[in-house]
Structure 1
Amino acid sequence: MSYIVDVYFWILKILVAFLMAAMVVLVFGNVVLRYGFNSGITLSEEVSRWMFVWLTFLGAIIAMRERGHLGVDSLVRRLPLWGKKLCFTASYLLMLYATSLLFIGSWQQTLINWDVVAPASGLSVAFFYGVGLVFGVSTIPILLVGLYRALAGELDAAKLVTVQESEEGNIDEIQERHLASPAGAPVLVAVPVTSRRQP
């Protein structure tokens, strides 16, 4: 089961990279065509905007699993174990509630806009709102599993802190996460670099 989950999130990372590259091509290519050749890509603005929304939501799913969301943890880190568990449970319940609302709203908007066609691309606008469904289906199980593990006492004090104050993660955690990636997946290993003064 964990292998399937790893493969799923590896696919999400590939999609994020593809969306980023496609956005660069569409936006930069449109600028070059517009100013250099008095032409342009008709659907560039619309499709790149949709790609940006999908990129944001997919990235949030990945960050949720890898505990990569930024926040202020200075208070939580000073609490005793029961305080950390209480804050963890409260935050996960609030996130479950917010994600459920987002999922329900996205489902309703997807149904409403199923037959609405975007002006430039001709795609169904339901595709735009569908990212909320993907986000909900992917994130709600992460939150439920995390909540269960916290209530069952499977998480230590360090794992009960769900945010980090800077983008620089723990090198050991990054190495462990990427070394455990599925077979055949590209492995990224962060290696600390130290400088020495020559005598």
Structure 2
Amino acid sequence: MHKAIDVLFKLFEGLMVACLAGMVVMVFGNAVLRKLSDYGVVLFGGGITVSEEVSRIFFVWLTFVGAVVVARDGAHMGVETFVARFGPGGRKILMLATNVLIVVCCAVFFWGTWRQTPIHSGNYAPITGISMIWVYGVGFVASVGMGLVAAAQALRIATGRISEAEVRKFAGEFEDDLAETPKGRAE
């Protein structure tokens, strides 16, 4: 099961790279074509109109799929100064509460995306003509992805399978910080 999840997240990372590369090629290509048209060399009418719309769609997907990947890595922003004031038991309780709140927020996000689906599937992008569900539908991917990550972590906390290193990371105590102090504790 872990191998399948690792493969899925590698695919997500590949999708992020493809979106970023596509954005760079399209935006840079359009900039070059527009600059060339300033000098009288007009190719593709001075720019590729579809590239502006497609690069925006890629940016949306890059952002939301990236949020899922970052959630798995536990790299989202947190309020570590508050969490660090608690001992290991309190940190686990806060970590569990945080993950439960994330699951609730993801459920609301999924429900909202579901409710908006009929509206967006009937709307079409003005230049490409693709259904706008391809833009707004990324809410399904993000809400399910982040919700499953948070639910899995909450389950590991509740069953006592969370490592102390993960709890320390949640409190902002990273291994590099711990190695610098002689007692092994962050100051």
Larger radius of gyration: 2
Contact 2:12 2:65 in 1 (8 A): yes
Which one has the bigger helix percentage? 2
1:111, 1:157 → 2: CA distance? 45
TM-score with structure 2 length normalisation?
A: 0.82
Deviation at 1:74, TM superposition (A): 2.8
Number of residue pairs the alignment of both structures matches? 169
1:161, 1:120 → 2: CA distance? 49
Contact 1:92 1:143 in 2 (8 A): yes
Contact 2:12 2:69 in 1 (8 A): yes
Pairs within 5 Å for 1:1-199: 1-37=1-37, 38=42, 39-161=46-168, 163=170
1:161, 1:127 → 2: CA distance? 39
1:165, 1:153 → 2: CA distance? 20
**TM superposition outliers: structure 1 runs of 4+ over 3 Å:** 161-166
> Percentage identity across aligned positions?
37
Q: Give secondary structure in 2 for the equivalent of 1:70.
A: coil
Q: Which runs of 5+ in 2 are unaligned?
A: 177-187
1:124, 1:114 → 2: CA distance? 5
Q: Give secondary structure in 1 for the equivalent of 2:80.
A: coil
CA shift in 2, pair 1:59/1:163, >3 Å: farther
Instruction: Name the aligned partner's letter for residue 51 of structure 1.
Output: F
1:159, 1:40 → 2: CA distance? 49
CA shift in 2, pair 1:164/1:77, >3 Å: closer
CA RMSD of the aligned region, Å?
2.0
Contact 1:68 1:163 in 2 (8 A): no
